[in-house]
Amino acid sequence: MMMKWLVCLATLVCSLSASLPAHAMDCVTAANATPASECVVLEQNGVRGVWFELKIADELRKAKLSFPELQLQIGALEQRGAVRDWQLERYLEVISLKQEALSEMDKGLAAQVRIAREARDGERKAVERLHAWYNQPSLWFGAGVVVTLVAGVLIVGYAN
C-alpha cells in the first residue's frame, strides 16, 4: 500500500515536472543514476515512477495533507472578503446619505441666513422710517408753533 502511494506520488511529481522547464527536475534512469541524483526513474510491476529522497517525499506528504486546510482557509478568507465588501457598500451608502443630509442642511442654513438678512434689513428700514426727519416731534411742534403764529397774525390782521 505504501509503495503504491509512493509510486502514485512520484507519478504526480513527474507529471507536474513536465510542466516545469527541463532544468527544473532532471530525472535519470536507474542505469545512469549516481549517489548525487535527485530523481531516478524506476519501474515496479510495469508502472514507471520516480524515486526521490525521503525528505522530499515527507515535504510532499505534508503539502498534500495541508491542502484541505489551505482550501478551508481560502474559503474563510473569501467569506471574510465578502463580508468586508458588504460592509464597504454599507459604509459608502452611509457616506452618501450623510452627504445628502449635509447638502440639505446647507440649503436650510442658506435659507435661514437669507431670512435673517431680510428681517434685519426690514428692521433697519423700520428704524430709519421711525427716525426720519419728518417723524421728529420737534419738527411738528415747531411747525405747529409757526402755523399758530401765522394763523394768529392773519386773524389779528383781518380783525383790524
Answer for the pair 112, 118: CB distance below 8 angstroms, yes or no. Answer: no
The four Cα atoms 107, 110, 116, 122 give a dihedral, to 10 degrees, of -100
Residue 151 lies in a domain: no
Domain shared by 28 and 72, yes or no: no
Tens of pLDDT along 72-128?
888 899 999 999 999 999 999 999 999 999 999 999 999 999 999 999 999 999 888
Residue 85 lies in a domain: yes
β-pair type (28-29, 47-51): unpaired
Residue 62 lies in a domain: no
Domain shared by 45 and 74, yes or no: no
Domain shared by 42 and 73, yes or no: no
Residue 61 lies in a domain: no
Q: If you compute the radius of gyration of the chain from its CA atoms, what whole number of angstroms results? A: 52
Tens of pLDDT along 54-64?
787 788 888 88
Residue 138 lies in a domain: no
How many structural domains compose the chain? Answer: 2
Residue 42 lies in a domain: yes
3-class DSSP assignment, residue 41: strand
Tens of pLDDT along 27-49?
777 677 776 677 777 777 888 77
Residue 45 lies in domain: 2-52
